């Protein structure tokens, strides 16, 4: 199966600087600098604005039947896009009104041109403007949001959210910070958001993702030269980013080519270890050994068939379990418990220098004294904290944490020198070199006991099979989300390992059908 599923060497980006990946996520600031660089690359701002407004008008016409449209325009270029969309919808025969937040005389540059090109009446934007509207286009604020909306704007936002009519937001719903996915104050809830050129982190991160509704990203003819020097703020998780490194079974391979996972479990929550070990075996590790305290040996050995179970010495020392160098990827945390012995076991595993996944109690045992852990980590380690475990290691979330979840995960990866998977509905995967990936395919049904154990097993299974740490984490998170999605409602964590083969088959089809590869920019 191997060659058919591999990415071809002819893919774009080898050697030469690759075109900016479609999965790149740009901060509003980066998008703004591309806008400013576009004219020098031969594309004037008004052409971008015309294309942006046209994309919005097209998206509206594709989604809704003709109705009375109210376009709410703001004082900047987001408002300019709104004026263009208003003109094009009117030209298509739709009844359109425009209401402006701010003064017509204060519009300048491309936005003033767009208002002139609309040429129709412009009323002041107040909550009463919404009366009679069948559809609202939100062109109040986009990338330029710089502070929480003040009271009067907040009243308008509240009125939009209270109106029982669909909303199409231009670029971002007004009030949403496209960089972080957070809202400094009130924000519009849209049914459709049309953004331009590349998505922004705030479209994938919560609560932003939930405010956007359906998301469309339109090509507005941004010249490649204007994007050339941009190092993306983050990437949206997608197989294009890591499929080249995916360890498809080789036709001439045997189980040792696919690596040997050593998982260290505890005495009590024995199911967690089993979930992780089964996931590691399902996703591609050649062998999986679970090492547990003597008291848990009979339970685990009786419950597992394809996973080998061995008893640790009574003091929990791991030297014997680590003696076989073919045990190339290690997992500790699921089912570990918080006995003090856990801490020395984690440090013993890390000292072996092998690839290692630390989850759950393997992180929590260092609560209050994270330095002992942080100093022992290395680049082939993957930490998989949820928000609570993350806060115990790296400190609580503070309101001033600029950049939100993305920034916190990136800072933690830099500080620890390990890959950090900050879990949640908007899982962020961060590498010590600054690369960040946001995952958006996880269904809410994944919020169930044991699903984190399965994820940890998926990551260590891919590490054992030879994937580098960042790629293994991204692939595991993506496959875990897809497996859950395919299971639908009512899933239990124990269903997930059995759903991995179906998810792997989807991945194989995607990779075979894709001619596209994306190289990272760092
Ligand atoms: N390539 C592209 O993506 C293109 C994007 N376009 C659109 O341009 C906007 C960004 O335009 P900009 O003028 O920089 O910002 P805004 O229109 O979002 O608003 C700036 C304006 O708003 C004021 N402001 C900021 N925060 C607040 C607040 N809380 N309350 C009140 N007023 C606020 C600020 O002072 C400025 O006056 C982008 O989103 C796209 O829609 C281009 O048209 C095409 C290319
Ligand atoms: K907007």
* Domain co-membership, 419 together with 473: yes
Let me know if residue 15 belongs to a domain. no
- Using the atom order of ligand 1, give the atom closest to the CA of residue 150: 30
Assign residue 198 the CATH number of its domain.
Answer: 3.40.50.10260
Residues 112, 204 within the same domain: yes
* Token pair belonging to 337: 């418990």
Where among 168, 199, 229 does a domain terminate?
A: 229
Residues 6+ apart with CB under 8 A from 127: 155, 156, 158, 159
Q: Write the DSSP string, 242-260.
A: HGGG--PPPTT--GGGG-E
Residue spans of the chain under pLDDT 50: 1-16, 401
Between the CA of 78 and the centroid of ligand 2 the distance, in Å, is: 6
Please name the residue that has the structure tokens 């060497």. Answer: 9
Report the distance separating Cα 511 and Cα 161, nearest Å. Answer: 41
Distance CA 434, CA 411 (A): 8
Task: Give the SS3 label for residue 267.
Answer: coil
- Indicate whether 167 belongs to any domain: yes
Residue 381 forms part of a structural domain: yes
Distance from residue 347's CA to the centre of ligand 2 (Å): 49
Confidence (pLDDT) at 401: 47
Sign for the CA dihedral angle at 471, 473, 478, 480 comes to positive
Q: Is residue 10 included in any domain, yes or no?
A: no
Name the domain boundary from 229, 262, 281. 229
Complex ipTM, two decimals? 0.97
- Residue 234, domain member (yes or no): no
**Binding-site residues from annotation for AMP:** 423-427, 452
Q: Whose CA is nearest to atom 26 of ligand 1?
A: 145
251 and 386 in one domain? Answer: yes
pLDDT given for residue 8 in this prediction = 30
For ligand 1, atom 1: residue with the closest CA: 35
* Residues lining ligand 1, Cβ inside 6 A: 31-32, 35, 48-49, 52, 74-81, 141-150, 153, 170-171, 196-197, 220, 222
Residue 186 sits in the same domain as residue 254:
no
Tell me, yes or no, whether 19 lies in a domain: no
CA-nearest residue, atom 44 of ligand 1? 49
Residue-wise burial string across 263-294, b where 16 or more C-beta atoms lie within 10 A, e elsewhere: bbbbeebbbbbbbbbbbbbbbbbbbbbbbbbe
**Which of 195, 229, 263 is the last residue in one of the domains?**
229
Alpha helices (runs of H) in 284-335, residue ranges in sequence order: 294-303, 319-322
Which structural domain, as residue segments, surrounds residue 82?
Answer: 27-229
Would you list which residues are annotated within the binding site for K(+)?
A: 78, 138, 174
Beta strands, E only, 353-418: 355-359, 381-384
Residues 212 and 354 in one domain: no
Residue 455 sits in a domain whose CATH number is 3.40.1190.20
- For residue 141, report the distance from its CA to the centre of ligand 1, in Å: 5
Q: Are residues 151 and 275 in the same domain?
A: no
Q: How far apart are CA 359 and CA 456, in angstroms?
A: 7
- Residue 518: the pLDDT is 53
Q: CA-CA distances (angstroms) from residue 280 to 253, 460, 506, 508?
A: 18, 6, 18, 18
Q: Tell me the C-alpha distance between 306 and 475, whole Å.
A: 23
Ligand number with the minimum distance to the CA of 212: 2
Residue 21 lies in a domain: no
In a domain, 357, yes or no: yes
* Number of domains composing the chain: 2
pLDDT tens for residues 449-497? 999 999 999 999 999 999 999 999 999 999 999 999 999 999 999 999 9
Our CA angle for 208, 476, 14, nearest 5°, is 90
Helix axes 469-487, 496-513, angle to 10 degrees: 110
Kindly list the distances between the CA atom of residue 491 and the CA atoms of 443, 446, 450, 483, 498, in Å, as whole numbers in the listed order: 11, 8, 11, 10, 11
> Which pLDDT score, from 0 to 100, does residue 12 have?
37
Q: Return the pLDDT at 254.
A: 80
Identify whether residues 285 and 191 lie together within a single domain.
no
Question: In this structure, are 206 and 279 located in the same domain?
Answer: no
- Cβ–Cβ under 8 Å, residues 169 and 142: no
CA of 150 to the centre of ligand 2 (A): 16
Does residue 38 sit in the same domain as residue 163?
yes
Residue 252 and residue 382 in one domain: yes
Nearest to 522 by CA among 226, 229, 242: 229
Distance CA(40)–CA(19), nearest Å, equals 18
Looking at the fold, whether 270 and 222 belong to one and the same domain comes out as no
How far, in Å, from the CA of 20 to the mean position of ligand 1? 23
Same domain (yes/no): 348, 421: yes
In angstroms, the CA 203 to CA 209 distance is: 5
For the CA of 189, the nearest ligand: 2
β-bridge partners, 137? 71, 168
Q: Please state the pTM of the whole predicted model.
A: 0.94
């Amino acid at each position: 199966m191997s060659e058919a599923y591999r990415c071809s060497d002819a893919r774009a980006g080898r050697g030469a600087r690759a075109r900016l990946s479609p999965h790149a996520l740009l901060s509003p600031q980066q998008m703004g600098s591309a806008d400013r660089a576009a004219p020098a690359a031969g594309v004037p701002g008004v052409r971008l604005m015309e294309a942006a407004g046209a994309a919005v008008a097209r998206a509206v016409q594709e989604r809704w039947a003709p109705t009375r449209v109210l376009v709410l325009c703001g004082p900047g270029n987001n408002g300019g896009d709104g004026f263009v969309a208003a003109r094009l919808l009117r030209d298509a025969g739709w009844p359109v009104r425009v209401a402006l937040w701010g003064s017509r005389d204060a519009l300048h540059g491309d936005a003033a041109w767009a208002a002139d090109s609309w040429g129709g009446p412009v009323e002041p934007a107040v909550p009463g403007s919404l009366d009679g509207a069948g559809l609202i286009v939100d062109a109040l604020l986009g990338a330029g949001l710089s502070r929480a909306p003040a009271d009067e704007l907040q009243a308008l936002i509240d009125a939009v959210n209270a109106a029982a009519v669909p909303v199409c937001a231009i670029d971002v719903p007004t009030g949403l910070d496209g960089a972080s996915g957070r809202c400094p104050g009130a924000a519009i809830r849209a049914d459709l958001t049309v953004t331009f050129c590349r998505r922004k982190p705030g479209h994938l991160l919560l609560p932003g993702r939930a405010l956007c509704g359906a998301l469309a990203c339109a090509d507005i003819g941004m010249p490649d030269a204007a994007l050339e020097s941009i190092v993306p703020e983050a990437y949206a998780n997608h197989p294009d980013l890591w499929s080249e490194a995916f360890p498809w079974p080789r036709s001439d391979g045997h189980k040792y080519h696919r690596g040997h996972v050593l998982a260290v479990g505890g005495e009590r929550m024995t199911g967690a270890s089993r979930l992780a070990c089964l996931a590691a075996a399902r996703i591609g590790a050649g062998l999986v050994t679970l090492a547990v305290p003597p008291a848990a040996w009979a339970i685990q050995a009786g419950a597992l068939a394809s996973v080998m179970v061995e008893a640790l010495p009574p003091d929990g020392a791991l030297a014997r379990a680590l003696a076989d160098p073919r045990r190339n990827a290690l997992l500790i945390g699921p089912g570990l418990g918080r006995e003090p012995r856990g801490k020395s076991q984690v440090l013993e595993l890390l000292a072996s220098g092998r690839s290692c996944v630390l989850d759950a109690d393997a992180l929590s045992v260092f609560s209050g004294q994270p330095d002992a852990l942080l100093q022992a980590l290395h680049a082939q380690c993957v930490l998989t904290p949820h928000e609570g475990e993350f806060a115990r290691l790296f400190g609580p979330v503070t309101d001033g944490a600029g950049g939100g979840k993305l920034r916190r995960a990136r800072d933690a990866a830099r500080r620890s020198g390990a890959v950090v998977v900050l879990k949640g509905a908007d899982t962020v995967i961060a590498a010590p070199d600054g690369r960040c990936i946001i995952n958006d395919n996880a269904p809410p049904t994944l919020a169930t006991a044991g699903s984190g154990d399965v994820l940890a097993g998926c990551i260590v299974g891919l590490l054992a099979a030879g994937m580098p740490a960042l790629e293994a984490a991204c692939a595991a998170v993506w496959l875990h989300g897809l497996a859950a999605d395919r299971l639908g409602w009512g899933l239990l964590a124990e269903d997930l390992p059995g759903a991995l083969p179906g998810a792997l088959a989807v991945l194989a089809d995607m990779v075979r059908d894709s001619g596209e590869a994306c190289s990272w920019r760092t």
